A and B are shown apart, each in its own frame.
Chain A
């Protein structure tokens, strides 16, 4: 079946219909000139400033230089009270400690994060501590893992409370945690000391990658650059920046070793000289030193600076909602009366097209 087109459609864009003066224009030349300008600028900036490459934090460094903080954080991974352990989707099917974000019934983290529950399974005791230690060929540690696994929940809580008190006043010297073992701690001191030794030897950095997962067809996953476990472990240092030993932006690192991961982002001390990476100082749109950072993220990080976005329980969800709410009128600006009339009202265009408006 076929029919002819009923009527050819015709339209004329306003620049084609323009009856004012025209000028020769060379698109190809403009592209070449633009590319040359970009090339010169990029090359010049590269030769002048290069690019930042602050050394990544390692478990080896953390355990050696921030031994007590590493021990305290490890305890929260063992007794599964850390943020990573209680986060909820996508790491666990259900959250604890009210960590799942939402406003009343509105909780995309619960709906979407649980589509394939749990999407990125994390059990901090097994993944962060037990499995790495069992692979470390340390009989005392293996025995301690077994003791912890077989203990009742109440017994684990008693040990954890006692050991937490011991760590509160603990000191470290040259990467050695100075806590005398006690029956009140159960296997905890053995576990934590073994974890410190493993980390200081460099073994924990490798053991935490995804390679200790069991593959579907048997064996283990061998190829991996998944640092999810490592970064969640780091993030639990200093209770996510809430611990009392977390420093203020730009301060030097404190004499003690608490809040290690967070302080590396906030303290202005080598080798990272970060200074202002915390969320309340525009966060991730900054980067170390005086580099420009991801400044173009400001429409998003803006909302973290005050009000509910700065300290609300569901601050991240709030920030996403606000970013989207403000992005929508930006996207659909041409159809929004009032907003689309601002250029005409401000008359900045007369300055921009001043040659045009200068004509008689």
Chain B
């Protein structure tokens, strides 16, 4: 199979009807190695705001790592030990950073309309990651097992009960909450995040809105002046504009 830089297609026709080979063919088409681990990107991707996505992801990695340490010592460690308080604080601030980066990432994705050109599912999976993260954060506040936890449990129970789901996630039962916070919800976040990342790699970063004098694909239209050229003194066209290396 070969994959060039400009288009991707199925490898040579082979037996159809075998689910495994169908999945393999689709994966090879949509997630070739050069797509999963790119070494070059369009120039418009070189902006700092794109980094908040990876900052959010690394905050999640930090959360998993510090969460593992907290699991080793159990849910009372941070009340009675300086080392426990230290690791609990790392986990706490990683949560704050995680949500901050997610919000900035949402903002930049929104204002660049990052869902264009078939990237709608990438947006949806991002929102799923966010909602799963909210539930994880809420249950995390319970695992703090302090007065905040008491208050949030006693107050928050009514929302779950009003929708008839209080028996499924009982914020006042730490045994119940622990399973949700440590196992189920992180799996949900990781799953949604993995799908989000796969779709980011599948579709890449959305190009800027087309501008006057350029094609949809950023290619300079020869002979057609840009708005700046049309409104200022005539100037020659730069040969490197509008052509891919």
Cβ-defined contact, A31 with B54, below 8 A: yes
Query: Which of A50-58, A132-140, A196-204 touches B?
Result: A50-58
Interface residues as binary, A84-98 with B (CB distance below 8 Å gives 1, 0 otherwise): 000101100000000
Cβ-defined contact, B203 with A15, below 8 A: yes
Residue B222 at the A interface, CB < 8 A?
no
Q: If the complex has contacts A54-B146, A277-B151, A356-B43, are A19 and B242 also in contact, measured as CB distance less than 8 A?
A: yes
Chain A's closest residue to B118 (CB) is A13
Chain A's closest residue to B51 (CB) is A34
Cβ-defined contact, A19 with B7, below 8 A: no
Cβ-defined contact, B6 with A12, below 8 A: yes
Residue A152 at the B interface, CB < 8 A?
no
Cβ-defined contact, A113 with B164, below 8 A: yes
Cβ-defined contact, A23 with B6, below 8 A: no
Cβ-defined contact, A226 with B174, below 8 A: yes
Cβ-defined contact, A334 with B120, below 8 A: yes
Cβ-defined contact, B161 with A353, below 8 A: no
- A interface size (C-beta, 8 A): 117
Complex Cα gap A152–B101 (Å): 62
> Contact partner of A228 among B14, B170, B207, B240, CB < 8 A?
B170
Complex Cα gap A232–B173 (Å): 11
Cβ-defined contact, B94 with A38, below 8 A: yes
Chain A's closest residue to B245 (CB) is A22
Chain A's closest residue to B244 (CB) is A19
Cβ-defined contact, A352 with B55, below 8 A: no
Cβ-defined contact, A51 with B93, below 8 A: yes
Q: If the complex has contacts A2-B17, A10-B8, A15-B204, are A53 and B138 also in contact, measured as CB distance less than 8 A?
A: no
Cβ-defined contact, A231 with B117, below 8 A: no
Residue B187 at the A interface, CB < 8 A?
no
Q: Which residues of B lie under 8 Å from residue A333 when comparing CB positions? A: 110, 115, 123
Q: If the complex has contacts A15-B203, A18-B207, A37-B55, are A320 and B159 also in contact, measured as CB distance less than 8 A?
A: yes
> Contact partner of B238 among A20, A300, A360, CB < 8 A?
A360
Cβ-defined contact, A231 with B99, below 8 A: no
Cβ-defined contact, A352 with B93, below 8 A: no
Q: If the complex has contacts A8-B10, A53-B146, are A24 and B39 also in contact, measured as CB distance less than 8 A?
A: yes
Cβ-defined contact, B166 with A359, below 8 A: no
- B residues touching A (Cβ–Cβ < 8 Å)? 5-18, 25, 29, 37-47, 49, 51, 54-55, 57-59, 61-62, 78-79, 85-86, 88-90, 92-94, 96-97, 99, 102-103, 108, 110-113, 115-120, 123-124, 127-128, 131, 133-134, 137-138, 141, 144-159, 161-167, 170, 172-176, 178, 202-209, 211, 214-219, 226, 228-229, 235, 237-238, 240-245
**Extra contacts besides A14-B116, A52-B148 (10): CB < 8 Å:** A14-B203, A19-B243, A46-B92, A51-B93, A53-B88, A227-B153, A230-B172, A234-B154, A316-B158, A331-B124
13 residue pairs bridging A and B, Cβ less than 8 Å apart: A2-B16, A5-B14, A15-B203, A23-B40, A34-B51, A89-B166, A109-B164, A226-B170, A227-B153, A296-B102, A357-B208, A360-B226, A360-B235
